[in-house]
Structure 1
Amino acid sequence: MAARAAVVGARSLEPLDFGSTADIIKLIPKDLFAELCERIIQHLHCQIPGVNTVELCQRFQTAGVEMNVADLAKIINVVSFLFGTAAKNNLSAEELSTGLGNALSMLPKHAVQVIRHIWNEQGKSIIMSEDARNMATVGQIIDIQWKLGMAVSSDSCRSLKYPYVTMMLKVAEPSGQIMSKSFEMTIPQFQDFFRHFKEMAAVLETV
C-alpha cells in the first residue's frame, strides 16, 4: 500500500512545486503550521467547507509571518495533497512517511513532525468514501450575496441608466481553499438565473 502511495505522489508532485513551497513553509512557526494542518484535516473530514485563505493569511501576518494569499494557497495545496493521498490509501503515519518520503524530505523538519503527528492523531477519522471523492472534484458554493446597481455611463455611451445585479459567491474549491468570485448580470439574466434556482429547488424537494 505504501509503495502505491509513492507512485501516486511521484506523478503529482511536479504541478504542486514542492521545492518553492517548502521554502515558504520554513517561514511559518510550528504552532501556526499545526493550526493550518488542523484546518485542512477539518476540511477533509467535512467539518468545514474549506480553508479561508484570506482570513488565515491575515492571522499569519498579525503573528509577524511574511505571507501572501498566493503563497498560502500553495501550502494548502501541498498539505491537502499529502493528507488526501494518505486518506485515499488508508496510510498510517509510518506508511505516510515511507510512501511519500520523497515529498516529505523536501519539507522542513518541523513541518514533517507536525504532519506526522496530526495524521497519527486524526488520520483514522477521515473516511474517503466514493461520494466524498466525487464531491471533492468540484467546488461547493457556501454563500451567495447580491446587490442591485445602476450603470450610469461607459466609454461608448454617456448615459446608460440601466439596472444590473452583482452576484458575489463564496466557493470552497476542491483544494480546500475558500475563494470569493463575483459577476454582473442584467435584470433579464438575473430573472432567468433565479428561475433556474427555483426549478432546482423544486426538483430537490421531490428527492
Structure 2
Amino acid sequence: MAGLESQLAAGFENSIESINKLPQDLFAEVCQQIMLYLQCKTPGVNTLELAERLQNAGVELDVEANSRWFHAISLIFSRAAAQSGVSAEDLVVKLADSSSKWSKQALQVIRHVWNEQGKLIVTTEDAKHMLTVGQLVDLQWKLGLVVSSDSCRSLNYPYVTMVLKVADPSGEVIRRSFEMTVPQFQNFSKQFRELAAVLEMV
C-alpha cells in the first residue's frame, strides 16, 4: 500500500511540473473549460485539440502527461466542491502545502477560477443522481469501398467508417473509430431511430 501511495504522490508531482510548463492564459482557459464541465454546462474538454494548441505554443508534453495534469485539475476542483464552502484562499493554501512545486502563476490561476466559478459546481449530492458514463459529443460516418487487400480475395465491397467523440466522466473528450459492413450500419441506424423514438416519449 505504501508503494501505491508513493506512486500516486510521484504522479501528482509530475502533473504539477507539467502544469508549470503551460502558458498561463492557456492554463486559465482549460481551467475555465473544466469548470464548465463540472457545472454540467458542456459535455467535456477536447484534450486532442488542447494537445495541438500546447504543441503550437511550444510546450512539449506527451499525451499521457497532458491527460495526467488535466485529471489532476479536475480532481482538485471536484474535491474542493465536495468540501462545500472552501474559499479560494483556503484551496490555494492547501495546494501549496501539498507540494512546493506549484508555481505562483498556476496557483493564481486556480485561485481566480475557483473564486469566480467554484460555487457553481454541481454538488456531490446532485452528482449521485447523474450517470457516470461517457456522453456522445459527435458522431460522423463515411462510406468507403475496399479496392485492394493482401489477405482478402473478394474485393470491391462497401464499408462504413464510424468516428465517435465521447466525453468520459472526467470530462476528457476521446475519439473512437470503427468499421462496419453496410448491413451492420443499417442495423445500427435502425436501432438509433428506435432509441430516438423512445426518448421522444420520455
Fold shared per TM-score above 0.5: yes
Match of 1:55 in 2: 49
SS of equivalent residue, structure 1 residue 17: helix
Partner of 2:170: 175
- TM-score, normalized by length of structure 2? 0.83
Unaligned runs of 5+ in 2: none
How much has 1:145 moved relative to structure 2?
Answer: 0.6
In 1: Cα distance, 2:173 partner to 2:153 partner = 38
User: Quick check: 1:38 aligned with 2:32?
Assistant: yes
Structure-1 separation of matches of 2:125 and 2:101: 31
CA distance in 2, matches of 1:94, 1:112: 10
**Could you tell me how far apart the structure 1 residues matched to 2:107 and 2:99 are?**
6
Please give the alpha-carbon distance, in whole angstroms, between the structure 1 residues aligned to 2:10 and 2:189.
Answer: 38
- Aligned residue identity for 2:172: Q
Residue among 75, 78, 100 paired with 2:69:
75
Which stretches of structure 1, 4 residues or more, deviate above 6 A after TM superposition?
Answer: none
Which residue matches 1:25?
19
Which amino acid in 1 is paired with 2:39?
Answer: H
Kindly tell me: are residues 201 and 62 of structure 1, through their superposed partners in 2, closer, same or farther at Cα, counting changes over 3 Å? same
Give the superposition deviation at 1:198: 1.6
Count of residues paired in the alignment: 196
Q: CA deviation at 1:121?
A: 1.8
1:154 aligns with 2:149: yes
The alignment status of 1:85 with 2:51, answered yes or no, reads: no
CA distance in 2 between counterparts of 1:33 and 1:203 reads 41
Is residue 184 from structure 1 mapped to residue 179 from structure 2 by the alignment? yes
Structure 1: where are the runs of 5+ without partners? 1-10
The aligned residue for residue 6 of structure 1 is none
Q: Is the 2:96–2:102 Cα contact (8 Å) retained in structure 1?
A: no
Percent identity reads: 53
Deviation of the 1:74 alpha carbon? 1.6
CA RMSD of aligned residues (A): 2.6
Shift of 1:102: 5.5
Deviation at 1:47, TM superposition (A): 2.5
Q: What's the CA shift string for 1:30-72, capped at 9, x where partnerless?
A: 2222122111112212222211122222222333322344322
Following the alignment from structure 1 to structure 2, what is the Cα–Cα distance between the partners of residues 27 and 98? 21
Give the structure 2 partner of residue 126 of structure 1.
121
Query: CA–CA distance in 2 between the matches of 1:199 and 1:74?
Result: 38
TM-score, L = length of structure 1:
0.81
CA drift at 1:201? 1.0
Alignment partner, residue 204 of structure 1: 199
TM-aligned CA deviation for residue 24 of structure 1:
1.4
Q: Give 2:56's aligned amino acid.
A: T
